[in-house]
Structure 1
């Protein structure tokens, strides 16, 4: 592949990522949480307590970045860190009671936001997008 083609892919990925984040931020501007913070809450709601390294892996972020997100969520009392009794070295992140309702609202609003973003897309276009993203994901996982 020519370097120019790689630059085109990188530029497009940046543009798509920025526009996607902008749409999400606009849709959720009233909840005073960032998209990464909402993603952490969603993950914890879906999977239950998790280690920071597990959250990082699912979000594609470094442990340091994820830890910063967790710090801010702890300050506003949406999550807390808990040490395991059987192994005090292991720290899990858990949702504070009552946050599940926030996540239910988040998931519902996310579906609404995605419906607005992709509402005018044909089935064929959506299949093309998904196929392209799957190919890119495989390339990045070095499966091709």
Structure 2
């Protein structure tokens, strides 16, 4: 069976993501959080909170894991759940004052930690990388949209 041409790109993407996760995750754990906990704190920072659905869409955390991570952050007093008066079926997750203070301390520290690695690339290299990653993202979303359109049933009248 011939090797698919895109596998080289896929392998490079996976290796890059794994390297970033190892690099970033070690610092996040040194800050006293797991990577998913940091993801939620960072996502909620400078917001009025988000529903579970919004958090799931904006983080790298799977839906099945999200509730448990929020539970643990809530136990630590860093987030709270607030029912929405407009839709009592929805719950918003927001940072507590303690969670906001933690965000103010660790988010800039993590950006400072990550910056030197990204600065090893020239501005032109970063621009090229940004463009390539954006093109790959569009290829996935365009293909997904086309597949959904092809499989959605035709409207009936």
Which category describes the TM-score, using the shorter chain as reference length? Answer: 0.7 to 0.9
Give 5+ residue unaligned stretches, structure 1.
Answer: none
Cα displacement (A) at 1:86: 4.3
| SS of residue in 1 equivalent to 2:81 | strand
Asked if the contact 2:44/2:50 (under 8 Å) is kept, the reply is: yes
Give 5+ residue unaligned stretches, structure 2.
Answer: 147-157
Q: Which residue of 2 aligns with 1:131?
A: 131
* TM-score, structure 1 normalization: 0.86
4+ long deviations beyond 4 Å:
none
Q: Which residue of 1 aligns with 2:117?
A: 117
d(CA) in 2 for partners of 1:25, 1:16: 14
1:104-126 Cα deviation digits (max 9, x unpaired): 22221122122121122111111
Write the mapping of 1:35-114 to structure 2, written as runs, cut at 5 A: 35-114=35-114
Q: Which residue of 2 aligns with 1:8?
A: 8
* TM-score, structure 2 normalization: 0.80
Greater Rg by CA: 2
Aligned residues: 143
Distance 1:75 1:123, change over 3 A: same
C-alpha RMSD of the superposition:
2.1
Cα displacement (A) at 1:3: 5.6
1:79-126 Cα deviation digits (max 9, x unpaired): 121212343212111111122121122221122122121122111111
1:13-50 Cα deviation digits (max 9, x unpaired): 22111110111122233222122211111111232211
d(CA) in 1 for partners of 2:123, 2:87: 50
d(CA) in 1 for partners of 2:10, 2:54: 26
Asked if the contact 2:44/2:94 (under 8 Å) is kept, the reply is: yes
Asked if the contact 2:56/2:66 (under 8 Å) is kept, the reply is: yes
